[in-house]
Amino acid sequence: MGQPYFEINGGNRLKGSVRVSGSKNAALPIMAAAILCEGEVILHDVPYVSDVLSLAELLMKLGVDVERRSDHSLRLVVRDEMNSHAEYDIVRKMRASICVLGPLLAKRGKAQVSMPGGCAIGDRPVNLHLRAMERLGADIELVSGDIVCKAKKLRGCEMFLGGPFGSTVLGTANTMLAASLAEGVSVIEMAACEPEVVDLANFLNTCGASITGHGTPRIIVEGVRELKGCEYRIIPDRIEAGTLMVAAAITNGELKLENCRLDHLMAFVDRLGAVGVQIERKDDEVSVSSSRRLEPIEVTTQPFPGMPTDLQAQLMTLLCLADGNSVITEKIFPDRFLHVAELGRMGAQLRKEGPTVIVQGVKRLIGAPVMASDLRASAALVLAGLCARGTTQIHRIYHLERGYERIDEKLRSVGAEIERKEAEGS
């Protein structure tokens, strides 16, 4: 079978209603949390994207039964606690597998997780995760590329989780997961404030954990003896919502987004407003439209509540069409610019200077064959294809399918000309 790719004929104005899926980055650590729970966990609004399916596969190897129930629901229940080894074949596919570290250590006394390597968006160290596990009382060794953590009993403590680029999202998640079953109180200073961290804390509290301060840089976790299962709905995916907002703006269209939390996207909405995009909440929907010229802006990615790094590439595509020069600075992953060269193939005028890109607005982008490189860079190329003159072919779309559910169908339903095809003979 040939490699799938997207073919887009650009230029259509998008119009209509789209439902935003549940959040991938909230679903992943919440699924891993099932390792800690005594009873069954039922999750609603889980996006069926390949990262979720990879984590489900890993959890099954770790003795958790994962059943897809009705539409977008998962039932997870621990069947067997013998295996605590997350092997390289899955961890290398998906870095977020690291979020089984805290639960395995806290519940089973041992976690062996293959050390994640770098990835397309740059170095991705896990030193802060390990520092937290050590502070909670784990002994840590590196054995043949695996992190091996052991602890008979974890003990609550105070810890500072900041690194050179600020707070860590999955590091905070891992620490909350482990500290939930530790003896005593843990205080996490410089905790990540992202909505996905808040969703995990809310889930754990529904299971019987005692967590306060989530959504602020100081989270307090009082360890409990046991967590039960619960039924829980995952928050909407703010990054998918932001991507769809750009799709509306870049095609001079008008989209209504269902299941969209504007309070999770304040910084992004502020920047889109400065560009000239209109965003309003009407009843249960958020309407996004743009019909006038786009203004250039300056923007810097930051931890929440700042502008998310996961929307930097998509915003860059929009700014390619602004009337003047924009400046984008990446403060979370300074090398996250693989989309720059591919956008250049479509006529974008971009100049990279260290962690900053100067975007010189052009009149139009021009369709071309391009290569997806990581999840969000791929989304930026889809957006470019939607507004480009002519045909764009986006190869290696498996990157996109890691985090966007049926994006081609969703875009087609609001008027885009996008098709999933298979390359012959490759």
120 or 371: CB nearest ligand EPU: 120
Written as one letter, the residue type at 4 is P
Figure out which of the listed residues 163, 296, 347, 415 binds ligand EPU, where binding follows CB under 6 A. Answer: 163
> What are the DSSP calls for 173-237, one per residue?
HHHHHHHTTSBSEEEEET----HHHHHHHHHHHHTT-EEE-TTSSEEEEE--S-B---EEEPPB-
Place of tokens 């639960």: 103
**Residues across the chain:** 426
Place of tokens 């590196």: 142
User: Is 119 labeled as catalytic in the residue annotation?
Assistant: yes
54 or 168: CB nearest ligand EPU: 168
Contact indicator for 317, 326 with CB cutoff of 8 Å: no
Figure out which of the listed residues 149, 375, 388, 407 binds ligand EPU, where binding follows CB under 6 A. Answer: 375
Figure out which of the listed residues 20, 28, 31, 245 binds ligand EPU, where binding follows CB under 6 A. Answer: 28
Minimum separation from the CB atom of position 269 to ligand EPU (A): 17
Alpha-carbon span 121 to 333, nearest angstrom: 7
Per-residue interface string for the shown chain with ligand EPU, residues 330-369, x marking contact by CB under 6 A: --xx------------------------------------
Backbone angles phi, psi at 221, to 5 degrees: -120, 115
Alpha-carbon span 393 to 27, nearest angstrom: 30
Site for ligand EPU in 78-107 (CB under 6 A): 96
Contact indicator for 200, 33 with CB cutoff of 8 Å: yes
CA dihedral 399, 333, 233, 112 (to 10 degrees): 80
* Binding segment toward ligand EPU, per CB under 6 A, in 4-12, 75-83, 166-174, 217-225: 166-174
Minimum separation from the CB atom of position 173 to ligand EPU (A): 7
Minimum separation from the CB atom of position 203 to ligand EPU (A): 14
* Binding segment toward ligand EPU, per CB under 6 A, in 138-146, 168-176, 289-297, 365-373: 168-176
Q: Which of 119, 149, 230, 260 is catalytic?
A: 119
Instruction: Characterise 415 by phi-psi region: left (phi > 0), alpha (psi -120 to 50), beta (else).
Output: left
Tell how strand 285-289 and strand 254-258 pair up. Answer: antiparallel
Figure out which of the listed residues 14, 105, 113, 170 binds ligand EPU, where binding follows CB under 6 A. Answer: 170
Q: What SS3 class is residue 226?
A: coil
* Binding segment toward ligand EPU, per CB under 6 A, in 162-170, 264-272, 277-285, 352-360: 162-170
Minimum separation from the CB atom of position 50 to ligand EPU (A): 12
Residue 59 in the binding site for ligand EPU (CB under 6 A): no
Per-residue interface string for the shown chain with ligand EPU, residues 111-150, x marking contact by CB under 6 A: -------------xxxxxx---------------------
52 or 247: CB nearest ligand EPU: 52
* Binding segment toward ligand EPU, per CB under 6 A, in 2-10, 72-80, 167-175, 199-207: 167-175
Contact indicator for 191, 216 with CB cutoff of 8 Å: yes
Written as one letter, the residue type at 102 is G
Residue 314 in the binding site for ligand EPU (CB under 6 A): no
Q: How far is CA 342 from CA 11, 160, 269, 346, in A?
A: 19, 39, 26, 7
Figure out which of the listed residues 22, 102, 103, 171 binds ligand EPU, where binding follows CB under 6 A. Answer: 171
* Binding segment toward ligand EPU, per CB under 6 A, in 107-115, 161-169, 223-231, 291-299: 161-169
Give the neighbor-by-neighbor strand order of the sheet with 349-353.
Answer: 298-300, 325-329, 356-360, 349-353
42 or 126: CB nearest ligand EPU: 126
168 or 180: CB nearest ligand EPU: 168
Q: How far is CA 307 from CA 214, 252, 402, in A?
A: 19, 23, 22
126 or 383: CB nearest ligand EPU: 126
114 or 168: CB nearest ligand EPU: 168
Closest CA to 383 of 12, 19, 3, 51: 12
Q: Which two tokens stand for residue 259?
A: 């299941």
Half-sphere exposure of 381 (CA within 13 A, CB side): 34
Residue 345 burial (CB count, 10 A) = 17
Minimum separation from the CB atom of position 426 to ligand EPU (A): 26
Residue 403 in the binding site for ligand EPU (CB under 6 A): yes
192 or 384: CB nearest ligand EPU: 192
Extract the runs of DSSP E, i.e. beta strands, from 123-184. Answer: 139-143, 146-150, 158-160
Half-sphere exposure of 14 (CA within 13 A, CB side): 33
Written as one letter, the residue type at 265 is L
Annotated catalytic sites, by residue? 119
Which positions lie near ligand EPU, rule CB under 6 A? 25, 28, 96, 124-129, 163-165, 168-171, 192, 196, 309-310, 332-333, 375-376, 403
